[in-house]
Amino acid sequence: MTAQPAAPDVFHLYDTTLRDGAQQEGLRLTVSDKLKIARVLDDLGVGFIEGGWPGANPSDTAFFAAAAAGELELRHAKLTAFGATRRVGARAADDPLTRALVDAQTEVICLVAKSHDEHVFRALKTTLDENLAMVADTVRFLTGEGRRVFVDVEHFFDGYRANPAYALEVVRAAAEAGAEVVVLCDTNGGMLPAWMGEVVSAASDIGVDLGVHCHNDTGCAVANTLAAVDAGVMHVQGTINGHGERTGNADLITVAANLRLKYGWPVLSDEHLARATSVSHAVAAITHVAPNARQPYVGQSAFAHKAGLHASAIKVDANLYQHTDPRLVGNDMRMLVSDMAGRANIQLKGDELGFDLSDRDLAARITDVVKQREMDGYSYESADASFELLLREQTDALDPAFEVQRWRVLTSDEVSEEGDSEATVKVRVGDAVVSRVGEGFGPLNALDHALRSALETEHPDVETFELTDYRVRILETGHGTDAIVRVLIDTTDGERSWTTVGVGTNVVEASWEALHDAYLWGLHTRAA
Ligand SMILES: CC(=O)SCCNC(=O)CCNC(=O)[C@H](O)C(C)(C)COP(=O)(O)OP(=O)(O)OC[C@H]1O[C@@H](n2cnc3c(N)ncnc32)[C@H](O)[C@@H]1OP(=O)(O)O
Ligand SMILES: CC(=O)C(=O)O
């Protein structure tokens, strides 16, 4: 195996979730969202948080004003303002957007500059010399105002291919004017890892500290970032959960975890790295962008094991099927139960739920039951509560809080204030047999009301149970309305959430089974 490169003396993790991340389609951050995300990023221990472009829009200006007014107290990170080099033909000191950068009152400013000759001619509509003057003038003005200046050289990799001498000239102009770090940007995201080293090495000859900013258009943003690190950059830019323009940016958590756990570089402390999963989820919650379960290191499935052969080896040693310990990034190993399970999955899942399934015959019998039920359409992968009820049945450990004797539901086109459906449920609760009628909008709502009413005297806890999600899918396409359906129900009692599954050719029957299991599991585990 190749020796790991040595860590540079100084290394920057630079987060641009609040600027480039916010350039993602569908993502809109308020000032308050930005303040929350900045605090979360600071908890992760990144060195720099790029907060946005002051002067470009009222929200970003307000964000920097709020930060300057003391609403953002950062313990680790330095807040950075982003902006462009001055306008063509202007003086930096007179350019309102450059002035807005100074007014943002951050110690660090990151400027974007053109480095591709074609962009200078066609986008800026100016000369190559004027672009060099724009870079030098703006950097000098801002350093003269006492700021540390980083320069993002846009389209550097494509620019280097088209006109290497000019692309390097822009890096030199920034460095000579006082830029502390020049960040080579793969703005169009078209690079591949094998192409990175040569370009970074050419820029290294200039003698300024270099950084990298990669977009993910070839699916290689993280790999390209690491290739640039191998070639000597000491500053990496990225975003939480890989948000960003088009296909996004390098995922900064993946980059940082790779550098910390694979290279052993101290880019984050152990304590900070262990917050990675919660940081990723917190940003997902604030941005309202659902987390990607298959995200490296921090995704829900990143350490989830489904195949029987994997589980049987994991029983011996989890590291046999894991590239690292999930706890290091604040994640957990999860054992999935499905028709691909063997005894080991069932035993490990049993351990997780507090069952001793070490008896081989018992584990084998439960595995067979699971496989048959999965064949019938059940899916226990996410329905942990139904799986636990199955385990309790199979191990004679189920003392049901109630037993249903009969249920019935009618739906009509007559809608009253109570709804359009009426259900009757008859259950045995302790020694009593209780029959109740419930009304509701739709059959499941009516059944829920009837069951809740039948149970509430003996089990007042049911009052806290609330259905939070309901998913139904047809199991075999090609059938018409007689297809078998699977229903998954998520329930909460305000403290815990659990998922149950029901299957049938009748959607109401399948829904009832999932609802019944939800109440049974909720009451059983609350009593326990
Ligand atoms: C690669 C990146 O992702 S960099 C970050 C990009 N982010 C953003 O663009 C989001 C924020 N941007 C904005 O709010 C607006 O584009 C603003 C406020 C910056 C400018 O808005 P406007 O003045 O209306 O100009 P508009 O957006 O149409 O065009 C950009 C102008 O900046 C010029 N420009 C582009 N890059 C640079 C640069 N590096 N240095 C100086 N000027 C530049 C363009 O040539 C164009 O000039 P023109 O007005 O003379 O044609
Ligand atoms: C600066 C930047 O966001 C880019 O070049 O992609």
Of the bound ligands, which one is closest to the alpha carbon of residue 22? 1
By alpha-carbon position, which residue is closest to atom 3 of ligand 2? 20
- Residue 187 Cα to ligand 2 midpoint, Å, equals 5
Of the bound ligands, which one is closest to the alpha carbon of residue 189? 2
ipTM given for this complex = 0.96
Which of 153, 260, 279, 257 has the alpha carbon at shortest distance from 210?
A: 153
| Nearest ligand 1 atom, CA 20 | 3
368 and 417 in a single domain? The answer is no
309 and 240 in a single domain? The answer is no
What is the token pair recorded at 502? Answer: 């029901």
**C-alpha 236 chain-centroid distance:** 20
Is 1 part of a structural domain of the chain?
no
Which helix (H) or strand (E) covers residue 260, if one does? helix 252-261
264 and 332 in a single domain? The answer is no
Q: Tell which of 287, 319, 334 closes a domain.
A: 287
pLDDT at site 4: 78
Give the tens place of pLDDT for each residue, 318-346: 899 999 999 999 999 999 988 898 999 99
Task: Tell me if 123 CB under 6 Å of ligand 1.
Answer: yes
Task: Tell me if 170 CB under 6 Å of ligand 1.
Answer: no
- Residue 283 Cα to ligand 2 midpoint, Å, equals 21
Task: Tell me if 154 CB under 6 Å of ligand 2.
Answer: yes
pLDDT at site 2: 67
- Residue 520 Cα to ligand 1 midpoint, Å, equals 60
pLDDT at site 193: 98
Is 386 part of a structural domain of the chain?
no
State the CATH number of the domain containing residue 460.
Answer: 3.30.160.270
Is 391 part of a structural domain of the chain?
no
Instruction: Provide the β-strand partners of residue 12.
Output: 235
Residue with tokens 């399970």: 341
| Nearest ligand 2 atom, CA 215 | 6
pLDDT at site 5: 83
420 and 337 in a single domain? The answer is no
By alpha-carbon position, which residue is closest to atom 51 of ligand 1? 124
Query: How much is the pTM?
Result: 0.87
**C-alpha 396 chain-centroid distance:** 40
Question: 97-119 b/e with 16+ CB inside 10 Å = b?
Answer: bbbbbbbbebebbbbbbbbbbeb
Is there a contact between 265 and 7 (Cβ–Cβ < 8 Å)?
A: yes
Collapsing DSSP to helix, strand or coil, 80 comes out as: strand
54 and 160 in a single domain? The answer is yes
> Which domain, by its residues, includes 517?
403-527
326 and 220 in a single domain? The answer is no
CA distances for 255 relative to 15, 206, 222, 355, angstroms: 11, 26, 6, 39
Is 61 part of a structural domain of the chain?
yes
Please choose from 18, 87, 119 the residue to mutate so as to test ligand 1's pocket, defined by most ligand atoms within 8 A of CB: 87
Q: Tell which of 287, 320, 344 closes a domain.
A: 287
- Residue 247 Cα to ligand 2 midpoint, Å, equals 13
pLDDT at site 527: 53
Task: Tell me if 60 CB under 6 Å of ligand 1.
Answer: no
Collapsing DSSP to helix, strand or coil, 217 comes out as: coil
Which of 95, 57, 60 has the alpha carbon at shortest distance from 81?
A: 60
**How far apart are the C-alpha atoms of 496 and 528, rounded to whole Å?**
14
190 and 332 in a single domain? The answer is no
End-to-end Cα, the chain, rounded Å: 52
- The 3-state secondary structure of 302-344 reads CCEECCHHHHHHHHHCHHHHCCCCHHHHCCCCEECCCCCCCHH
**How far apart are the C-alpha atoms of 439 and 448, rounded to whole Å?**
9
Name residues of the chain where pLDDT drops below 70: 1-2, 477-478, 527-528
438 and 521 in a single domain? The answer is yes
Is 520 part of a structural domain of the chain?
yes
Is 277 part of a structural domain of the chain?
yes
338 and 262 in a single domain? The answer is no
Task: Tell me if 57 CB under 6 Å of ligand 1.
Answer: yes
Give the tens place of pLDDT for each residue, 408-435: 999 999 888 889 999 999 999 989 999 9
Work out the number of other CB atoms within 10 angstroms of the CB of residue 348: 23
The count of structural domains within the chain is 3
By alpha-carbon position, which residue is closest to atom 4 of ligand 2? 187
Task: Tell me if 185 CB under 6 Å of ligand 2.
Answer: yes
- Residue 213 Cα to ligand 2 midpoint, Å, equals 7
Q: CB neighbours of 371 closer than 8 A, spacing ≥ 6?
A: 339, 341
State the CATH number of the domain containing residue 246.
Answer: 3.20.20.70
Beta 108-114 vs 148-154: how paired, if at all?
Answer: parallel
- Residue 212 Cα to ligand 2 midpoint, Å, equals 10
Q: Tell which of 262, 287, 312 closes a domain.
A: 287
356 and 283 in a single domain? The answer is no
Of the bound ligands, which one is closest to the alpha carbon of residue 83? 1
161 and 272 in a single domain? The answer is yes
483 and 348 in a single domain? The answer is no
Task: Tell me if 120 CB under 6 Å of ligand 1.
Answer: no
- Residue 205 Cα to ligand 1 midpoint, Å, equals 30
Which of 364, 319, 320, 311 has the alpha carbon at shortest distance from 340?
A: 311
Task: Tell me if 20 CB under 6 Å of ligand 2.
Answer: yes
Is 388 part of a structural domain of the chain?
no
Please choose from 101, 124, 170, 216 the residue to mutate so as to test ligand 1's pocket, defined by most ligand atoms within 8 A of CB: 124
Is 213 part of a structural domain of the chain?
yes
